[in-house]
Amino acid sequence: MNVAHSEAFPRCISSLRDLHLDIHQILFIVLGETASGLLPLGGRLEKNEAHRKEVIYSIKITTLSAKCQSRKNMNQKLLKLENLLHFLQTYKSHTICRQLHSLGQRRTLVQWRHGFSSAYPVWTAQMCAWPWQTDVLIGAALSKYRLLVTKEEKRPRKSQLSSTKTKKEVEVWIGMTVEELARALEKDIDYVYEALLNTAIDIDSLEVHSQLDEIWIKEVIKKAGMKLKWSKLKQDKVRENKDAVRRPQADPALLTPRSPVVTIMGHVDHGKTTLLDKLRKTQVAAMEAGGITQHIGAFLVSLPSGEKITFLDTPGHAAFSAMRARGAQVTDIVVLVVAADDGVMKQTIESIQHAKDAQVPIVLAINKCDKAEADPEKVKKELLAYDVVCEDYGGDVQAVHVSALTGDNLMALAEATTALAEMLELKADPTGPVEGTVIESFTDKGRGPVTTAIIQRGTLRKGSILVAGKSWAKVRLMFDENGKIINEAYPSMPVGIIGWKDLPSAGDEILEVESEARAREVINWRKFEQEQEKNKDDLKILEEKRKEHQEEHRKTREKYGTLHWKKRSFMKYLERKEQRPLKPKEKIERDSNILPLIIKGDVDGSVEAILNIMDTYDASHECQLDLVHYGVGDISENDVNLAETFDGVIFGFNVNVSNVIQQSAAKKGVKIKLHKIIYRLIEDLQEELSSRMPFTIEEHLIGEASILATFSVTEGKKKIPVAGCRVQKGQLEKQKKFKLIRKGQVIWKGSLTSLKHHKDDISVIKTGMDCGLSLDEEKVEFQVGDEIVCYEEKEVSAKSSWDPGF
């Protein structure tokens, strides 16, 4: 064997090893099926079919282990193997055997040592005697290898077809953001940015939460090699309406006469409650704080004639507009009380409007006619401007002159009311499920949620199941306006109801249902409807915010679109620098301009009135009003904890606070402010708002002087301007602040460096005296006729500009 062959053969063996073939497989390829015929001198290698199959199986496993390789690579390997085997064919047998001997000494021949003789040269010589077997060996090896390669080539082809069929679907939707698209693709955000490179979209302006148009979503999906699938909005299954509703109108033959419901309305302090006191022969007014009605009261009054009238006493204060409107909605007749000495006022006009809106007839009661300055005719004329025409002027409104204090003519007012009720022919159906209206609601410490209601249809009994708003009740107890327990309540009768699971709101409609399960079904439906409405409102807000964001984004693109990226980055850096976090001191000052509030009231209507007043707050630029929590009932530990968390103030109206709660609030530094008169509460709220506002600086004048002459003095190498002045008013104090005024304009503010009278340094100079003074700023030039003003600055508490309207 020549030198070239001796150098090439190790490279061939190495190439065979590159094909992942070990010495077992190389021997099989070279020797083939005749390997068993090569016998060494020391013994004969028996034919072992099982072992031969094991070697073939090893070759197959080794070949198949090279996965996911292309057809081209397989063909190249096959060609390489054929060239190597033909190259091996040209060598002499003894050369091949010698190289195989040196190669197999490490592992394989050690395992086979028991099957070969130690007389190795004899085996080599014997092998050299059959050079003609080489072609057979090569043919057999190539045929087996081709079979393996062919099988392996078919598999990737099948997997490619299957991968085409099972291309991953990506669910997308309109308005998808960059982050959402990356999450749907199961890629990082940079992948989406890279996919949108070299497209018309501006990558620099594309943020993580930027919404992508449909064309760019399709472009990214296409480059990702995935399938697009537009998601359909999930349509909620339409739920069946489970709400409770009023019954149809009853058969007129089943209707029976009922008592009228009369609402007393009018301006504050015009004598409405005193008038009702005389009719009921009780002292309701004496029980009201401040002498004004602050709740809506329902009372059943029995007249001497035996007739009964249900009176609703509504507050006349401006804060209780909602209560007056609610009283007008459930009434049959409105008694409009106007003071003869005061005339038509603001709440009088509002009461007239409520009655007209509810289409309820009016009976005019002109009160305080016993006073010397009373002028009933003036009241009647003033009411003409509001379409309230009395019978004296050709109208249909009855006018009765009364005195609630002395009780004069009250029976005439009652008769006028009953006469009007007879004309209205008021009737109701006392059978079937109950229908009514919540007049007032409150939480009693021993009895839980309690409501005052007017029954409008049916008869209410103990054990009835009622729903009102988003609350329901199983009636445990009923009582009248005097606290007396009753067993039944008929139409037009005011009644207190105990047994509510939650506190309903004043004005809610009361309906009776057949069972507790039905009551829960109704409440769940109403909560579902409320949630749906809230979702719609939230969607509208989100859409508005989205449009605002898009508009802001468009303006930003217009602002930075034409700039070079370096300049754009620098400008964005400057903007971020301006948006620095607040320092602790600045944060305290900002937080001090916010007043968190917790409102607790005795009844639902009182809380409603306070909240309505707060809705008129229009001074948020001075101090922000933040309502943290409101509710009905006494102040609890939870209210104190909330106030501590938000650094807020608790306002209570007609509620109590236990000693334990007061001590806890004092320990936590929480303010609790209790009131029994609503306008006192509002005044206190205004003061609290003012205390949260920053102090204003006011200048207080101390003295004035006019400049009569100007000159300069030399101190060292400096020339200092000096003004010769005469004090015209007050006095000049050197330690205070000064300002120089020229022709009505302030040209300098600061302090003095010197103040002299003749040659003496002084600290104070009074009216009529001359002096010379110099300023702390040398560049200011004096002119004859200028004014020097001495003043001091004082911090003054600011006052809120909010006007609640009363």
Read off the pLDDT of residues 122-131 as tens digits, 9 standing for 90 and up.
Answer: 333 343 334 4
Question: Considering all CA atoms of the chain, what is the largest pairwise distance in Å, rounded to the nearest integer?
Answer: 156
As a whole number, mean pLDDT of residues 2-18 equals 48
pLDDT, residue 715, reads: 81
pLDDT, residue 173, reads: 78
Strands (DSSP E) found in 141-284: 169-172, 227-230, 256-257, 261-266
CA 40 to chain centre: 92
As a whole number, mean pLDDT of residues 641-650 equals 90
**Per-residue confidence at 294, pLDDT binned at 50, 70, 90?**
very low
704 vs 230, higher pLDDT: 704
Per cent of the chain over pLDDT 90 is 22
Residues 6+ apart with CB under 8 A from 7: none
pLDDT, residue 123, reads: 38
As a whole number, mean pLDDT of residues 14-27 equals 50
585 vs 523, higher pLDDT: 523
What H or E segment, with its residue span, contains residue 721?
strand 718-733
pLDDT, residue 713, reads: 87
505-516 in b/e form (b: 16+ CB < 10 A) is bbbbbbbbbeee
Residues 6+ apart with CB under 8 A from 335: 262, 263, 264, 265, 362, 363, 365, 413, 417
| Whether the predicted pLDDT of 759 surpasses 80 | yes
pLDDT, residue 45, reads: 37
| Tokens describing residue 517 | 């399960």
For residues 728 and 716, is the Cβ–Cβ distance under 8 A? no
Q: Please write down the long-range contacts of 608-612, taking CB distance under 8 Å and 24 or more positions apart.
A: 608/322, 608/323, 608/505, 608/506, 609/315, 609/319, 609/320, 609/321, 609/322, 609/323, 609/678, 610/319, 610/651, 610/653, 610/678, 610/681, 612/319, 612/321, 612/322
Q: Please write down the long-range contacts of 242-245, taking CB distance under 8 Å and 24 or more positions apart.
A: 242/521, 242/522, 242/524, 242/525, 243/522, 243/525, 243/526, 243/529, 244/467, 244/511, 244/513, 244/518, 244/522, 245/511
What is the spatial distance between Cα 338 and Cα 352, in angstroms, rounded to a whole number?
11
pLDDT, residue 468, reads: 93
pLDDT, residue 587, reads: 46
Per-residue model confidence as pLDDT tens digits over 449-496: 889 888 999 999 999 999 998 999 999 999 888 888 999 999 988 899
What 3-state DSSP class applies to 685?
A: helix
As a whole number, mean pLDDT of residues 731-736 equals 92
CA-based angle 755:758:763, to the nearest 5?
30
| Whether the predicted pLDDT of 140 surpasses 90 | no
Phi, psi of 544 (to 5 degrees): -65, -45
Output the CA torsion sign for 275, 277, 280, 284: positive
Query: What order do you get walking across the sheet with 308-313 strand by strand?
Result: 297-302, 308-313, 261-266, 333-339, 362-367, 398-401
Per-residue model confidence as pLDDT tens digits over 492-509: 888 999 999 988 888 888
pLDDT, residue 166, reads: 62
pLDDT, residue 578, reads: 66
Per-residue model confidence as pLDDT tens digits over 413-463: 888 888 898 898 889 999 989 999 888 888 887 888 889 888 999 999 999
DSSP assignment string, 236-249:
PPPPPP----PPPP
CA 646 to chain centre: 17
**Per-residue confidence at 363, pLDDT binned at 50, 70, 90?**
very high
pLDDT, residue 78, reads: 52
pLDDT, residue 310, reads: 87
Beta-strand relationship, 333-339 and 362-367: parallel
172-203 in b/e form (b: 16+ CB < 10 A) is beeebbbebbbebbeeeeebbeebbeeeebee
Q: Which of 96-105, 397-406, 559-568, 625-634 has the lowest mean pLDDT?
A: 96-105
What is the spatial distance between Cα 133 and Cα 89, in angstroms, rounded to a whole number?
10
What 3-state DSSP class applies to 90?
A: coil
What is the spatial distance between Cα 695 and Cα 692, in angstroms, rounded to a whole number?
9
Other C-beta atoms closer than 10 Å to the C-beta of 234 total 6
41 vs 733, higher pLDDT: 733
Phi, psi of 177 (to 5 degrees): -90, 170
What is the spatial distance between Cα 298 and Cα 436, in angstroms, rounded to a whole number?
14
For residues 114 and 120, is the Cβ–Cβ distance under 8 A? no
Whole-number average pLDDT of the chain? 76
CA 63 to chain centre: 64
DSSP assignment string, 295-353:
S-EEEEEE-TTS-EEEEEE---SGGGHHHHHHHHHS-SEEEEEEETTT-S-HHHHHHHH
**Per-residue confidence at 326, pLDDT binned at 50, 70, 90?**
low
265 vs 363, higher pLDDT: 363
What is the spatial distance between Cα 651 and Cα 658, in angstroms, rounded to a whole number?
15
Per-residue model confidence as pLDDT tens digits over 149-173: 454 444 444 444 334 446 678 888 7
| Tokens describing residue 52 | 């031969």
State the distance between the two ends of the chain, measured CA to CA, in whole angstroms: 123
pLDDT, residue 226, reads: 86
What 3-state DSSP class applies to 792?
A: strand
The pTM (predicted TM-score) of the whole model is 0.55
In terms of Cα–Cα distance, which of 261, 266, 386 is closest to 315? 266
Top-ranked range on mean pLDDT: pick from 7-16, 315-324, 730-739: 730-739
What 3-state DSSP class applies to 410?
A: helix
CA-based angle 774:776:777, to the nearest 5?
100
As a whole number, mean pLDDT of residues 278-289 equals 53
What 3-state DSSP class applies to 414?
A: helix
What 3-state DSSP class applies to 535?
A: helix
Q: Which of 276-280, 604-608, 655-659 has the lowest mean pLDDT?
A: 276-280
Q: Which of 205-214, 325-334, 576-585 has the lowest mean pLDDT?
A: 576-585
As a whole number, mean pLDDT of residues 579-597 equals 63
Residues 6+ apart with CB under 8 A from 653: 599, 600, 601, 602, 606, 607, 610, 674, 675, 676, 678, 681
Other C-beta atoms closer than 10 Å to the C-beta of 538 total 10
| Whether the predicted pLDDT of 638 surpasses 70 | yes
| Whether the predicted pLDDT of 516 surpasses 60 | yes
What is the spatial distance between Cα 492 and Cα 510, in angstroms, rounded to a whole number?
14
pLDDT, residue 736, reads: 92
pLDDT, residue 83, reads: 58
